Amino acid sequence: MTMTFTTTVDSPVGPLLLTSDGESLTRLLFAAAPDPDWSTEPCAVIDRAVAQLAEYFAGERTDFDLPLEPAGTPFQLTVWQALRDIPYAETINYGQLALRVGNAKASRAVGLANGRNPISIVVPCHRVIGADGSLTGYGGGLDRKRTLLDLERRTAGHEDPQLSLL
C-alpha cells in the first residue's frame, strides 16, 4: 500500500489540501479535510508544490513544474492534460476544450471531467468558462474562480476580452 503524504496551506483562495504519493502530486483541493491515515511527515514533492503555489499567488510563477499523478479515467486524464495546455491568463470555453480532446460534441462530458479535476490550480480548470464568456461551475466556487482569473490577468499585464464580462 502506498503512503499518502499531506499538508494544508493557507492561500488567497482559502485553505488548500495537498497530497502526494511521495513521487508526484496527487491532489490539490479546496477546504478539504485530510484522511487521518495520511502522513504529515515532510515530503519533497509537497514542499515543491507549496513553494510553487506561493510563487504563483505572488505573481512570480505562470507555469508549474511538478510531477502529477491524478487518479481518473482515461477520458478524464485526457481532459486534464488538455487543461494544462491552456496558456496562463487565457480562457477557453467547454466547446473549445471538447475540440482539443478530439470530440466537438463532448462539451458536457468535458465539463464533468473538468469538475472532477483533483489537482486544482496546477491543472487549471479555472480557465474554462461558458460559451458566452460567463463564469460557470467551479468546484471551488465562482468567487475562487474569479480570484484566480483576476490574479493571472493582473500578473500577465493584459485584459482578456472574455474576462472583461466578469
Instruction: Extract the runs of DSSP E, i.e. beta strands, from 21-97.
Output: 25-30, 92-93
Length of the chain measured in residues = 166
Alpha carbon 125 to its chain centroid, in Å, reads: 5
Grid cell 465539463 is found at: 111
Q: Is 125 a catalytic residue?
A: yes
φ, ψ for residue 140, nearest 5 deg:
-85, -5
Kindly name the residue from 125, 129, 135, 151 that is annotated as catalytic. Answer: 125
Compute the radius of gyration of the chain from its Cα atoms: 16
Cα–Cα distance, 135 to 131 (Å, whole number):
9
Give me the residues paired with residue 7 across strands: 18
Which three three-digit cell numbers place residue 148? 484566480
Instruction: Extract the runs of DSSP E, i.e. beta strands, from 5-98.
Output: 5-9, 16-20, 25-30, 92-93
Catalytic residues: 125
